[in-house]
Copies of this chain bind each other. A is one copy, B any other.
Amino acid sequence: MTEIKAPSPETLQRFIEIVGADHAITDETEMASYMHEWRDRFHGKAALVLKPATVDEVSKILALANETGTAIVPQGGNTGLVGGQIPSDAGDEVLLNLSRLNHIRDIDLAGNCMTVEAGLVLAKAQEVALNAGRLFPLRIASEGSCQIGGVLSTNAGGTAVLAYGNARDLVLGLEVVLADGRVWDGLKSLRKDNSGYDLKHLFMGAEGTLGIITAAVIRLFPIPAETATAMVGFNSLQDAAAFFDRAYGFGSTELTAFEILPRIGIEFVTRHFEGTKDPLDSAHPWYALIEFSSANADAGLSSGVEALLSEALEAGEIADATIAHSIDQARALWRLREEMSEAQKYEGGSIKHDVSVPVADIPEFITRADQLIQLMVSGARPVPFGHYGDGNIHYNVSQPPGQDKAIFLSHWEAVNAAVHEIVLDLNGSISAEHGIGQAKRDMLPHVKSEVELELMRSLKQTLDPKGILNPGKVV
C-alpha cells in the first residue's frame, strides 16, 4: 500500500513555509538530538524537522504529506523505548515534533477534566492539575520530559495503573489530525457518550500510525488527603502473590501501587546510589513497595494499613515490613524503586523485556524465565521488577559479572525470543506498556493471530491509505 517517496526540494520548501523557517530544521547537526533516543538503541535520519505550533499547521503538513507521498514521523518528548518516534535510516522522512503545541486550553474543575495540547510535558500537566487542587494520576519515569501526545499515542502505563488505569483510561476526548489533513474534533468532556463508534480508542496506543493526536481532554481526580507507603519483605514470590490478594481485597481502589522488587535490585540500587539504604533489617528474596491513598482524611488509612500488615505477618505471608512515617521516608522507599532501571547500567549490559502475564501466573513466569536464562547465559543475573498488580513485569537481565558487555548483549534477540515464548504460553503480552514501534514489529506475526493482524492492517489501510503515517512502525 505504501506510495511513499522522498520529498523533492520544492516539497521541502512547501513544508517549511507552513511553520516558517524559524521552526524548521534542515541542518543535520541541529537535527541530531531528534534523531536518536537517550539509550541510542534507535537512530535514524530525516529530510526535515518541523515544529508546528497550531493544529492548523499540523493539518496543512499532513495534507501536503498526503498529496506528495511524504512519510511523517511524529515525535513528542522523544522518550519512547521502542523507537516509535525515530525515523528510518533512509533520510527521506519528515519528523513532526509537537513540542510547540503545548497549551492548556481549558480546566473544568466541576467536570474534573482539562483540555491540553499534545506537546505539553506530562510533569507540567501534573503540576497544573495540582495547582488547581486536582490530581492527574499518571506517573511514569520519563514524566519530566515525555509529552501528552506521546503518552496517549503509546497508551503509557506506569506505577499508578492499578488504581487509575492506563493512559487511555484517563481520556474523555481527543482531537486528531487525520492522514489527509482533516481534523477530527472529538474533544468532548463527557463521562458518558454512546452516540456512535468510539473513535478515540482507535488513535490511542496506535503510535501515530493512524492519525496525529493534537489535543486531549484528560480526567482529573481529587488529591489524596492521606497516603500510606510501606516496604514489605517476602520469603518467596508465592508469599507476595498471597499478600497482593490480601492488599487488593483490603483496599481495591485505595491501593495505588504494588511494585515488586527482587533482592538483587535492592542491592544494585544501594550499591550505586548515595543516600539509599536497605529498607529492612535483614535481607529478603523479594520486596514490594506498596502505596494506599484515600481522598478521605478521616478514613484511618494508616492504622488500617498497619493492621493489614500485622495480619499478613501473622499469616506468614510477609517476613518484615516498614511503614513510612514522613514524606521523606516515603520518598526514600520510592527511590529504591525508581532507580532500579538506572542502577542496572552500573552492572554492565542489561537485556530488557516489557511483558505482562495474568497476575496469578507471575510466580510461574519468573521461575521459568530464571531457569531459562541460566540455561542460555550461565551466570546472567535476572532483575525482574515492576507492576505486580497489573501483571506487568520488566524482566531485565544483567550480564554475568566480568563478562564482555558486547558479547552479553549479542544474546539480546535470542533471549527476548525465548522469554517471549514463556509469555505467550501463559497468554501474556510481549509489550505491556512500551508499545511495538520498530523494536517489536517483526515479532507481531508470531504473537498475533492472522485475523488480528488482518484487522490491524485493514484499519491502517482505511485511515492512512497512502501509508504516510509513521511507516515501518507497529503494522
Is A195 a contact of B440 with CB atoms below 8 Å? Answer: yes
A68 at the interface (CB under 8 A from B): no
Q: Which residues of B contact A384 (CB under 8 A)?
A: none
Chain B residue at minimum C-beta to C-beta distance from A249: B222
A475 to B197, CA, bound (A): 9
Chain B residue at minimum C-beta to C-beta distance from A301: B299
Interface flags for A16-59 (1: CB within 8 Å of B; 0: not) read: 00000000000000000000000000000000000000000000
A205 at the interface (CB under 8 A from B): yes
Is B202 a contact of A194 with CB atoms below 8 Å? Answer: no
Q: How many copies does the complex hold?
A: 2
Given A253-B295, A294-B299, A459-B462, A192 contacting B161 (CB threshold 8 A)? yes
Is A253 a contact of B163 with CB atoms below 8 Å? Answer: yes
A337 at the interface (CB under 8 A from B): no
A429 to B185, CA, bound (A): 14
Whole-angstrom distance from the CB of A353 to the nearest CB of chain B? 13
Given A110-B245, A304-B296, A304-B298, A205 contacting B210 (CB threshold 8 A)? no
Q: Most B CB atoms within 10 A — which of A195, A391, A436?
A: A195
A111 to B204, CA, bound (A): 25
Is B298 a contact of A190 with CB atoms below 8 Å? Answer: no
A250 at the interface (CB under 8 A from B): yes
Q: Which residues of B contact A253 (CB under 8 A)?
A: 163, 253-254, 295
A192 touches which of B192, B245, B391, B462 (Cβ 8 Å): B391
Give 16 A-B pairs besides A108-B360, A185-B449, A195-B447 with Cβ atoms closer than 8 angstroms.
A110-B358, A161-B191, A162-B191, A182-B451, A186-B452, A190-B356, A191-B389, A191-B391, A192-B356, A193-B431, A194-B429, A194-B435, A222-B252, A254-B295, A300-B300, A455-B463
Jot down 27 A-B pairs with beta carbons below 8 A, ordered by A. A109-B360, A111-B358, A184-B451, A184-B452, A184-B455, A185-B449, A190-B429, A192-B433, A193-B432, A194-B434, A195-B430, A195-B440, A195-B447, A196-B475, A197-B456, A197-B474, A198-B201, A201-B201, A201-B202, A202-B202, A221-B252, A222-B249, A250-B296, A253-B254, A254-B296, A294-B299, A462-B462
